[in-house]
Structure 1
Amino acid sequence: MLRTAGFTALAAPFAGSLLTACSSKSTPSAKPNTTVTVTSYGGSYNDQLTKTLLKPFENKTGIRSTLLANTSLAGLKAQVRSGDVQWDLVELTAPEYLQAVDEGLLEKFDYSIISDKGLPSYARAEYGIKYLSFLFVMAWDQTHIPDARAPRNWEQFLDKAKYPTKRSVYGQLSDSSILEAARLAEGVPFDKIYPLDVDAALRYLARHPGRDKLIYHTANQEPIQQLTSGEVALSTSFNNRINAARKDGAKLNFTASNGVVAGDYFVVPKGARNKEAAFRLMDFMSNDADAGADFDRTTNLTLANTRALAKLPREVADTLPTSPKLADTILVRDDAWWAKNLKQTEQRFKLWQAGS
C-alpha cells in the first residue's frame, strides 16, 4: 500500500528538491499575554512537544501554550455543544477527525494565517492538519526477551507457544491497530487487509494467543510502565514512546517491520476562544524548519513540515514512519474505513473482550 499514490504523497517530503524550498512566511506578532490551550496525550510525548515546538513558538511569537493531556473527541464534542469551549487546539486520531467534521464540531482552518508552503499534500485539510505520522509497533522488554529472540512479525508476537506470557495491547480502537495485526499474523497481505474482517481478526486473537494472554492499556504511556515494571514482556506501543524510554535508559526495543503507519490531526473546536493563536501555532509547526527538524530527531515521528524533513540527515530520515525505506514492510492505516466503521467495531470488540 505504501507504493500507492497515498504513500507517494507521504514520501514526497524526502525528495531532494525540497532542499531548495522557499522560506516560510513570518508568523504575525501576537497580542500581549495571548495563550493557546493545546490538548494531546501526555507523558513523554507532551514533554517532547513542549521542548521542540511549543517553547520555540513562544520565543518567536510571544504566544504562550498551556498543554493538557486529556484530549478526546468526547471532550471536544461536550465543549462545543455546551458552548463553553476551553480548548483551542485539539489532537484527534484520523477517524475521530472525520467524525468531528461530519458532526460540524470544527472551525475551518484559515490558510491565510497558516502558510501551506511547508505542508505535504496529504496533510492539508479543510478543518485540520494531519500534522503527525507514527508507527504502531510490537515492543519487548530486553531483560526478558533478548533482541535475538524477539518477534519479527505479528504471528510471532501473538504465538503463545513461542512466548507463553501475557501481552499488553492497546484497547482504544480509534488509535490501535491490533485487529490489523491479527489479520497480518494470519498471513493476509497488506493490500487485502481492508475492508477489515473484524470477526476473522477476533477469531485469530481468541486462538493466538487467547483472551487469557491479553491485557489492555488505554493510555500511550501505560505500555512503557508495564514493560519496565515487569508486568509484561511484550506490548504494542508507538515508536516514539519506545524511543523516548530507551533514551531514558529503559531496556526496551521494537521493530518497525510489520508496523502500521497512521497519523493524528490538530483541529480547532468550533467556538474556540483563541483560534487565531491556534492557527499561528499551526503555521509555525508546518513551516519552521529548525523546530520541525528538532521535533523529528527527538521523537522519530514525521511532522508534516517539508522544510524540516529537508534539513534532516539521511540516517534520521530513513528511520521515520514515512520513509520510503520502510515502504515494503509496513501497512498504511485506512482512515476512511475506520471513520465509517469505528463505532460498531468498538462495540464488537468490547463484546469479544467480555467473552461474547
Structure 2
Amino acid sequence: MSDPKIGRRALLRGAGGLAALAALPSVAACGTGTSRVSSGANGGSKTVIVRDSGGAYGEALQKAVYTPFTKETGIKVQVVNLQGTQMLAQIKQGRPQFDLINNSMMDHAKFVAQDALEKLDTERIKSLKSAKIPENQITDHAVAHSFYGQCMAYRTDAFGGRKPESWADFWDTKGFKGSRSMCNPDADLPELEFALLADGVPMDKLYPLDVDRAFNVLTRLRSDIKKFWDSGPLPGVLLSRQEVTMATVWDGRLAALQQQGVPVQRQLNGARRQFQGFGIAKGAANADAAYQLMDYSLRPKVAAALAKTYPSNPASAEAYTLLTNEERSKLAGAPEYYDKGFDADINWWIKNEAAITKRWLEWARG
C-alpha cells in the first residue's frame, strides 16, 4: 500500500531545503497525463491533472472521486505521482505539469513559502460551507480534505485483560510489559508530543514543545524500543510477530490485521492529527477545472464515499453523518473520538523539524 504520509516525509525537511530548489533543472513528470492542456479563453478545460501519491490511496480516489467527477462534469482526470522536488522545480520554471496538488497541509505551507501555490478564491469552492471543515484547516492557499492520526496500538492478549489508556501507560514497561516500537523520522515527524503527554503535559499546552524535556522522557524508554519503524506496515508486522506489545502507528493500519484475526487494538487518547489537503499549483493551466475537482471532492457525500473505500478520516464533520455507526467507529475522525486527539502544530514543526530530526538521529544512535 502506498502512503500519502510517506510522500510528505519524502519532500524536503525545512524551508531551507526548499529554497535550494530554485536552481534545479526541469524535471519531467512521471506517471500518466504529463501533457499540458490549455484551459482556453473561457477557462473551460475538459481535463485536470492532479498530483496524488498513487498506490491503494490513488485507486480509492479513482473509484470514489475521479470517475464519478468525470461522469458528472465531463472533465477528465489525469494523475501524476510526483515528489515535492519535482513539483517545485516545474513551478519555478513556470511550467507545472499538473494543476491540483493533493498533499499534506504542512507541505502546502512549505510550498506557500516558495510562492508555489495560487491564492484560493474560496467563493469558487461551493461545498466549503456544507462540508463543515475546521476553520484552522482552511487557509489562503490550501483546504484540508482529510487527516490521518498517529496513535498507540497494542496487543490485546499481552496484559492480562488490562488496556493501556494513555501515553503514560506506553512508557510504563513494568505495568505493561514488553518491547515498544516508535517511528523513525523517515516515516513521520519525531514523536516528541507523545513523550510530553506521557510526562504529564496537558494536550492543549503542548506547543511550543519543550524539546529538552521530550528527549529526556524518550531516553527513559530508549532501552525498551526494539525498533524504529520507517514504513506504514512495519508496526503491524512487529505486533503480529509479538516482537513488541505496543507501537505507535498510523490509525488506519490496524483494520487489515484485525480482519486477519491478529489481537491488536488502537488507543486514540492523545492521537496526533496531520491533515491532507488541496492546493492549486502556481501557473496551473487548468485552474478552473482544478477548482471544480476540489469543490466536488470536498462535498460531504463524496468524502464519505472515499472513507468507505480507504481508511482516511474526512476533514468534513458533515461527512460522518452520512456513514453508518459501524463505518464511523473505524475512523479516528468520528465525533466520539475527535476530541481525544490534537492537531500537530505545522508552523512549529516547519521552523524546527530540521534541527529536531538531526537531534533525534544523534539520540537514536545513542
> Under TM normalisation by the shorter chain, which class is it?
0.7 to 0.9
Given the superposition, is the C-alpha separation of residues 248 and 221 from structure 1 closer, same or farther in structure 2, using an over 3 Å criterion?
same
Q: Does residue 157 of structure 1 match 2:160?
A: no
The structure 2 residue matched to 1:132, chosen from 140, 143, 146, is: 146
Given the superposition, is the C-alpha separation of residues 268 and 163 from structure 1 closer, same or farther in structure 2, using an over 3 Å criterion?
farther
| Match in the other structure for 1:79 | 90
Cα separation, 2, equivalents of 1:147 and 1:91: 43
Q: Does residue 167 of structure 1 match 2:178?
A: no
Given the superposition, is the C-alpha separation of residues 306 and 188 from structure 1 closer, same or farther in structure 2, using an over 3 Å criterion?
closer
The structure 2 residue matched to 1:189, chosen from 185, 196, 202, is: 202
Cα separation, 1, equivalents of 2:294 and 2:339: 31
| Match in the other structure for 2:67 | 55
| Alpha-carbon shift at residue 183 of structure 1 (Å) | 0.7
* Local SS of the residue matching 1:235: strand
The structure 1 residue matched to 2:294, chosen from 269, 278, 282, is: 282
Q: How does 1:338-349 map to 2 (within 5 A)?
A: 338-349=349-360
**What amino acid does structure 2 have at the position aligned with 1:271?**
G
* Local SS of the residue matching 2:129: coil
Q: How does 1:1-356 map to 2 (within 5 A)?
A: 31-32=45-46, 34-40=47-53, 42-67=54-79, 72-115=83-126, 116-119=128-131, 120=133, 121-141=135-155, 145=158, 148-161=161-174, 162-172=176-186, 175-176=188-189, 178-210=191-223, 213-228=225-240, 232-247=244-259, 251-287=263-299, 289-299=300-310, 301-305=312-316, 307-313=318-324, 316-317=327-328, 320-326=331-337, 329-355=340-366
Cα separation, 1, equivalents of 2:171 and 2:146: 28
* Local SS of the residue matching 1:262: strand
Cα separation, 1, equivalents of 2:122 and 2:258: 38
| Alpha-carbon shift at residue 138 of structure 1 (Å) | 1.1
CA contact (8 A) 2:181 2:247 kept: yes
Cα separation, 2, equivalents of 1:273 and 1:85: 8
Normalising to structure 1: TM-score of the pair? 0.75
* Local SS of the residue matching 2:214: helix
CA contact (8 A) 2:106 2:346 kept: yes
| Alpha-carbon shift at residue 283 of structure 1 (Å) | 0.6
Cα separation, 1, equivalents of 2:343 and 2:88: 28
Cα separation, 2, equivalents of 1:318 and 1:141: 19
Aligned length: 321
CA deviation string 1:277-308 (max 9, x = no partner): 32221111112x43222223444543234553
| Alpha-carbon shift at residue 113 of structure 1 (Å) | 3.6
Cα separation, 2, equivalents of 1:150 and 1:67: 43
| Alpha-carbon shift at residue 155 of structure 1 (Å) | 2.5
Cα separation, 1, equivalents of 2:180 and 2:237: 15
Cα separation, 2, equivalents of 1:248 and 1:86: 41
CA contact (8 A) 1:136 1:177 kept: no
Given the superposition, is the C-alpha separation of residues 258 and 306 from structure 1 closer, same or farther in structure 2, using an over 3 Å criterion?
closer
**What amino acid does structure 2 have at the position aligned with 1:171?**
P
CA contact (8 A) 1:30 1:62 kept: no
| Alpha-carbon shift at residue 139 of structure 1 (Å) | 1.6
CA deviation string 1:73-98 (max 9, x = no partner): 44433332344533433333333322
**What amino acid does structure 1 have at the position aligned with 2:342?**
L
Identical pairs, percent: 27
Given the superposition, is the C-alpha separation of residues 266 and 55 from structure 1 closer, same or farther in structure 2, using an over 3 Å criterion?
same
Cα separation, 2, equivalents of 1:110 and 1:153: 42
Cα separation, 2, equivalents of 1:199 and 1:226: 29
CA deviation string 1:46-81 (max 9, x = no partner): 3433332233223323334445565x5444333323
Cα separation, 1, equivalents of 2:317 and 2:336: 17
Given the superposition, is the C-alpha separation of residues 158 and 78 from structure 1 closer, same or farther in structure 2, using an over 3 Å criterion?
farther
Unmatched tracts of structure 1, length 5 or more: 1-27
Normalising to structure 2: TM-score of the pair? 0.73
Cα separation, 2, equivalents of 1:68 and 1:109: 22
**What amino acid does structure 2 have at the position aligned with 1:261?**
R
Cα separation, 2, equivalents of 1:248 and 1:110: 46
| Alpha-carbon shift at residue 236 of structure 1 (Å) | 1.7
